Structure 1
């Protein structure tokens, strides 16, 4: 008997899971995102380590520069200032402030599980990003002057990865209160859009190669989905209601 290709087996497994009711949809979807995200990250990392993605990186990188004068970014003068403000959304200071504010709210409302989920998901994602930067030690782009201050290695983009983890984690919390698919889709779309804008701003400012950002997006989505999956499986194991955020200790 001929064994089915891996891609076909994964596709059939996803379809089967999605057709088995609401109880199976979430873990199947999250597992799919985790698998795809890790796969994309590994492929980009391999290409980067072998130097085979350099030409594509340079081509995409220079598309955001004035033809014939790479020292100048494309677009009007105010666009550079806007890019700096957008990129700050994914900076550690703002992420930490947001994390502290959200966690503090959950603590004062006695939603300790939600506070722990946010801190562990985003904190571990930031630690993973820092560790990978140390491991790959890729130099920052050297084609143009950097328009933002940087202190770490280039791969993967910490802004892209941590922003993706943080905003998808927050989106997971918000949609647990929502009933309609349209509302949930809107929240997820906003989270993804913020991550995309921050990632693009890193390339525009000349501090990251496009592959750095793509790898950060992929691994960030995978890590946020992994954290979400762990919480979901703990819910099912403990037999708790789906809205785990509403659960607080009994007085």
Structure 2
């Protein structure tokens, strides 16, 4: 009975922490969106973008050519094409290991993330930066950054799923940290390439993180325990002494 209580008690606390993080992300987005609507971020946005360009030539990003190419490679990690491939691969993997409910929730998370990104872009309809030349082609509105939002949704969701399958805190921290780092790098690359205002990226990170955490909470509440806490890849438990003696 005591062991059962130990297993049950941490879950509400973890869900409470996740709910607080989700609320913080949503609050962060609302605050940034409010500042953008009142045009209070103009000075901040312009200062950051200009700091990433050569002082005597705003068409030239700071740093060597190879760094510019690296920024384009990193920004591709947040593109719809790459995120689609990553999502399809994840869905197939989850189906193969028998986690159909998890795969369904991940699919809903990804699709709703795309809908959220496009809906917010249409709602705010902010123009792309015209302060510096763009280093890439852009097709949609600027606010919030779709690359930042969707990379946060997809990578944080993947990181959370993988972390839940690992018993060691160090491994969990590494997986979550890596997913956060990927989302941050994608957002920073959008600034470096001049295709987003800094406030776009901040809003994208906030909304994407809140959305990913919301779906993690949903998974923890509605998925069976074995689907949220095992990956299907764990090693078989070693035989007990009793089993060993019987086999002998």
TM-score of the two chains, using structure 1 as the length reference: 0.86
2:229 match: 243
The one of 30, 35, 40 aligned to 1:42: 30
Q: CA deviation at 1:128?
A: 0.2
1:182 is paired with a residue whose SS is helix
> 3-state DSSP class of the match of 2:60?
strand
Aligned to 1:95: 83
Query: Residue by residue, what CA displacement relative to the aligned partner does 1:51-74 show, whole Å, maximum 9, x if unpaired?
Result: 111111001111111113211100
How many residues were matched structurally?
Answer: 225
Looking at structure 2, the residues matched to 23 and 223 of structure 1 have their Cα atoms a distance apart, in angstroms, of 20
2:107 aligned partner: 119
Deviations, residues 11-34 of structure 1 (Å, cap 9, x unaligned): xxxxxxxxx952223211211111
Q: What is the rounded CA distance, in whole Å, between the counterparts of 2:139 and 2:228 in structure 1?
A: 42
**CA RMSD, aligned part only?**
1.6
Unpaired segments ≥5 residues, structure 1: 1-19, 247-251
Partner of 1:6: none
* 2:18 alignment counterpart: 30
Q: Residue 131 of structure 2: which of 132, 137, 143 is its match? A: 143
Worse overlay, 152-161 or 226-235: 226-235
- Are the aligned partners of 1:113 and 1:245 in contact in 2 as well (CA < 8 Å)? no
The 3 A distance-change label for structure 1 pair 174 and 240 is closer
Gaps of 5+ in 2: 1-7, 233-248
2:193 to 205, 225, 231: 205
Q: Using the alignment, how far apart are the partners of 2:220 and 2:55 within structure 1?
A: 49
The whole-number CA distance in structure 2 between the counterparts of 1:83 and 1:189 is 20
Q: CA deviation at 1:110?
A: 2.2
| Matching residue of 2:241 | none
Deviates more, 1:208-217 or 1:169-178: 169-178
Q: What is aligned with 1:83?
A: 71
Deviations 1:223-248 (A, max 9, x none): 0000000111114xx676752655xx
Give SS of 2:127's match: coil
Contact 2:94-2:100 within 8 A present in 1 as well: yes
Contact 2:191 2:198 in 1 (8 A): yes
Q: Which has the larger radius of gyration?
A: 2
Q: Distance in 2 between matches of 1:57 and 1:33?
A: 26
1:185-200 matched pairs, under 5 angstroms: 185-200=173-188
How far the C-alpha of 1:108 sits from its partner, in A, is 2.5
Partner Cα separation in structure 2 for residue 171 and residue 69 of structure 1: 40
Q: Distance in 1 between the 2:213 and 2:97 partners?
A: 25
Output one character per residue of 1:68-114: Cα deviation in whole Å (capped at 9) or x when no partner: 32111001111111111000000000100111111012123321012
